[in-house]
Amino acid sequence: MSSPLNPLSKSQQEFCTYSGVFGTLITATCLVQQLAFVRANWITNLMILPYLLMIVSFVLLALQKAIAPLLLIISTVISFAIALLWLAGGSFSLVVIILLLYCSVITVFIYAEQIQTVLRRKQEAERAEEMKWRGKI
């Protein structure tokens, strides 16, 4: 059941919402692990910012924003780099590996199912509706 302002199907809406919420929780877990168990130095302090970007990208996915798929691609690359940093430092974190796999799978699924085009259509419809009502109220 899609409307003109929301061309996403119910299953696509639920996928975006639940995968965004779950991704936010996984990333928050990684961030808490980073803050609680890692000795602070300039590299580990710099690793906090990518986690915040990943949280923002998953929140935007849950809110069904058109920029979310692009941010998820960036998040996947960043999570790969973070996983490599963990392994290069002689550590292993299962939750960081889970985050990498989760980002990869969600990003591939979004592009395989063409959800990013539907999100773009939704953004364009919302923008057109806003322009239609601008100055009338």
pLDDT at 25: 97
pLDDT at 137: 65
As a whole number, mean pLDDT of residues 83-100 equals: 90
Rama region for 9: left / alpha / beta (φ>0; ψ in -120 to 50; rest): beta
Average per-residue pLDDT in the chain? 88
- Indicate if the pLDDT at residue 1 is higher than 60: no
